Structure 1
Amino acid sequence: MSNLIDPHAKPLPSLSDRHIDPHSYPDGVAFLDGQYLPMSQAKISVLDWGFLHSDATYDTVHVWDGRFFRLDLHLDRFFGGLEKLRMTIPFDRDGVAEILHNCVALSGHRDAYVEMLCTRGASPTFSRDPRDAVNRFMAFAVPFGSVANAEQLQRGLHVAISDKVRIPPASIDPTIKNYHWLDLVRGLYDAYDRGAETALLLDFNGNVAEGPGFNVFCVDDGKLSTPAVGVLPGITRRTVFDLCAEAGLAVAAADVSVAALRQSDEVFITSTAGGIMPVTMIDGVPVADRKVGAITRRLMAIYWQKHGDPAWCSPVHYP
C-alpha cells in the first residue's frame, strides 16, 4: 500500500497552534473585528464565503495629498451593494467613514488606496445556507497604486481587446462592486500574450465593455462616449461626466463598437486607481497619431486640480 494512504506508514505531522506567514505585504493598516492591525496580521478564514464563493462586495476610494476624494459617492455605492446582497454590518455611513479615516491616519500615508469590504462570512457549522453566515466587515489603507505607471501616463497605455465577454448584467448586477474577476484576468492574459499592457473586454452584444478595474472613454470630433451596458458605473467615470459638464464638453453613455473605438480621435480609461489615463495603442495600432489627445490632457489636469477643492475632498487628520 502506498505511504500516501497507509495511516501506519509514518507518524502524522504535528498540529501548529498558529500560522506563521512567510509572505510580505504592503505597508499599511487594516481594520478587522474591531481592531486596527498591520496588513500582515489582517486575515480571514478559509471557510469565509467571500473566499470560497467570491460572495462579497467592496469599494475603493483614494487619498491624495492627505485628502479623501469623493468619499460620499464611494460610501453610497458600498451601502447600495450591501443592501442588494442582503448583507448587514454593525456600522452606519459615519462609522465606516471614521474607520477608513483611522486606517489612513494610522498608516501615515499621504497618498493611499483605501478599501472597505464585506464578505458573506462563515457559519459556525459550515452551513450551505448563506443566511447562516455571519457577515464580516473589514477595511484597509495601503500606498496609492495606479493602473498606469508614470511612463504610461506620459505616453499612453497599450491596450488589447480580448474576445472574452464580461459577465452580463442579467447574471450579476454591475452596480454591485464585486470580486468576480476571472473573465477580467483571462482578458489580461490575452493582452499580455499579445504584448499589450492591459485589456478591454466585450459586452454580451460584442461591443466594448470595460477593463480590469476601469471604464473606457473615446473622443470623436470633440464628443465623448463611454459604454453604457454591462459595466460598473465607476466613480471616476461619473467624475468625467461632472467635469465635462463644467467644461462644456459633450459626453454620453452609449454602445461603443470595437471598430468605433479603434477609429477614435482619443481614448482614455478611468479608475480610482489612477484617475484619467490615456490610451495610445489598441491591438498594436496607434490611436490617431499615437499622442495623448488634447481633451484627454485637459480632463487629466482638471481632475487632479479637483483634489485640492474642498467641495470634492475631505481631509485626513493625522496624528
Structure 2
Amino acid sequence: MTRTVYVNGEYLPEHEAKISIFDRAFLMADGVYEVTSVLDGKLIDFDGHAVRLERSLKELDMPTPCSKDELLEIHRELVRINGIEEGLVYLQVTRGAPGDRDFVFPDPETTEPTLVLFTQNKPGLADSPAAKEGIKVISIEDVRWGRRDIKTVQLLYPSMGKMMAKKAGADDAWMVEDGFVTEGTSNNAYIVKGSKIITRALSNDILHGITRAAVLRFAREAQMQVEERSFTIDEAKEADEAFVTSASAFVMPVVELDSVTVGTGTPGPVAQRLREIYLEESRKAAI
C-alpha cells in the first residue's frame, strides 16, 4: 500500500511529495516538529502537542500555517487514509522556501510556511517488548544549543547520541551538562529513589514533554511523590529505578546506565505502574 502524506494543502502519494531545495528547514534547520501517537486508530495527547507546536512557532517568530482544528482534521484524515491503528503522525512546520539561501528570515507576507505531515505504521507500539525488558543507557556530554525547550528539527546531536549508544551496545543516551542529567536523546529522564519520582524541572534546558506532563499528573493523582530537580549520573546509578517518557515510547524502564545495573536490573514497579496508567488513561481520552 502506498502511503499518503500531506504537503501544503495536498494529500499525495509519498513518491509524489516534493519540497523546494530552498526550504529553510533543509538549508538552516529552520523548522519545528511534533510527533503524535496513535492507539486504536485515535490520537493520543493531541491537544498538548498542538499547544506546544504553537509555543515553538511563537518562540521562533514563525507563522502558524493553519488552525488547531484544521491540524486535527489533517491528522485524522491521514490516520484514516493510511489505516493506522497503532503508530505515529509526524508533523513539521518550516519558515518556508523563499527561493534562495539567506541567513535573514524571509518576509512572512511573501513566503508562506511549509506544512508537512506523514504517518508511520507501528503495530505493537503499546505492547513493546522493550517495556518488558527495559533499556540500556549510556551518558554523554550535552553540547546542544541552549533552547532545547523549542522542538526544532535540529536533531543532529541527538542522532549522534543514538549512534554512540548503539556503538556501545546500549539503546539510548542520557545527556549531561554541568554534572547533571538534562534528558535523553528523544525523551525525558527520571529516577526513582524510595517512593519518590525525581525528574529535572522545566526550563530552557529540556524539552517540555507532553508525555512527561501527563505522566507526572497521573503519578500525583495516584498519590506518588514527585520531586522536580536535577540529578547526577552517580545518583541515577544508585537509584531503585529509572525510566524515560516520550510520545512514542510512553513510559520506558531503564535497567542499565553506563554498564551499571540500575535497581534489580529489571523494570521496576513504579515505571511499570505508570506505563499501565498512562496507556489506560490516554486511550480513554484519545480523539
Please give the TM-score of this superposition, normalised by the length of structure 1. 0.83
SS in 2 for 1:269: strand
Classify 1:299/1:107 alpha carbon distance in 2 versus 1 (closer, same or farther; 3 Å).
same
Residue 160 (structure 2) pairs with residue 179 (structure 1):
no
Indicate conservation of the 8 Å contact 1:144/1:273, yes or no.
no
2:253 partner letter? P
From the CA coordinates, give the structure whose radius of gyration is larger: 1
With 214-223 and 36-45 compared, the bigger mean Cα shift is at 36-45
SS in 2 for 1:98: helix
2:116 partner letter? M
Indicate conservation of the 8 Å contact 2:54/2:64, yes or no.
no
Match of 2:176 in 1: 202
Residue 190 (structure 2) pairs with residue 213 (structure 1):
no
Indicate conservation of the 8 Å contact 1:146/1:273, yes or no.
no
Residue 136 (structure 2) pairs with residue 158 (structure 1):
yes
SS in 1 for 2:116: strand
1:58-111 per-position Cα deviation (integer Å, ceiling 9, x unaligned): 111111011111111110001111112111134111111111111111111111
1:121-175 per-position Cα deviation (integer Å, ceiling 9, x unaligned): 221344442124432112122213899993322111011111x214253xx2x22
With 256-265 and 140-149 compared, the bigger mean Cα shift is at 140-149
Indicate conservation of the 8 Å contact 2:218/2:277, yes or no.
yes
Match of 1:188 in 2: 162
Match of 1:142 in 2: 120
SS in 2 for 1:103: helix
Deviation at 1:53, TM superposition (A): 1.1
Number of aligned residue pairs: 282
Classify 1:279/1:134 alpha carbon distance in 2 versus 1 (closer, same or farther; 3 Å).
same
Deviation at 1:308, TM superposition (A): 3.0
Classify 1:193/1:166 alpha carbon distance in 2 versus 1 (closer, same or farther; 3 Å).
same
Please give the TM-score of this superposition, normalised by the length of structure 2. 0.91
Task: Give the gaps of 5 or more residues in structure 1.
Answer: 1-25, 315-319
Match of 1:222 in 2: 195
- Using the aligned pairs only, state the percent identity: 28
Match of 1:303 in 2: 278
Indicate conservation of the 8 Å contact 1:175/1:233, yes or no.
yes
Task: Give the gaps of 5 or more residues in structure 2.
Answer: none
* Structure-1 separation of matches of 2:270 and 2:60: 38
Deviation at 1:39, TM superposition (A): 2.6
**Superposition misfits of 4+ residues, deviation over 6 angstroms:** 145-149
